[in-house]
Structure 1
Amino acid sequence: MSEKNVKKVARVFLGGALIFAGISHLTFARKAFRAQVPDWVPLQKDDTVVYSGLAEIALGSSLVLTDEKHQEVVGKVAATFFTAVFPGNISQYTNERSAFGLDTDLKRFVRLFFQPVLIGWALKSTETN
């Protein structure tokens, strides 16, 4: 498989994962996602979950459907989104909030290291050079 095809598969898989996560924000995992919203966010926790879910659906759809001309920009926007929501993961860890099977300090701490992976994935799978 060529590098271009590997990147496409990675980009589409990430997009699909974002669409799924976004749908879960709006439906079956809504309560669990509220555990990640930092207390300092100036919106109601449920509103934050809904808005971030809609953003994930839009980003995921963009990753799946974008043409080669625009995919780098979409990747940078996705990486920026992953960076912007990282404080939620930190909040879940520091406030010892259990959700998504992250029910120990160690599990919540290890989860923090996956955010840079998502950022890199978004950037690498969309680079065109």
Structure 2
Amino acid sequence: MTTKTNIGSALTALRTGNHLTIQEAAKHLKLTPSSYSNYEHGRSYPDIRLIFRTAVYYHINIEFLIFLVCIDLASFENLKNEELFRLFTYGHTFSWDFFELFERYNSLSDVYKHAASTFLEAASICNQQI
């Protein structure tokens, strides 16, 4: 029995959101349907080539896909959330004061607010798929 991974959930959401079968998605990403199914179901992890192809094909941010793989691997490596967070913030630490967080968000330009909202929507879709 396998456990659904964050990256597997994202691949499923991207595929189904674009009304593709596993066979169609696999063909576009230069994989066998069996290999693609293994990624979706958490039986294996995509390499950087597949992450790159997926980002290009679906027109999404490659960092988001890499982040999902890292979240999955961090749980297997017993990496604490704080350590994972540091990997993506270049070692900087931030206050988790929510009022400060909202103030910073409100000071962002509309372009960055949209990017943050898109990321949160994608994370929510992945979370619902699990």
With the shorter chain as reference, the TM-score category is 0.3 to 0.5
TM-score (norm 2): 0.32
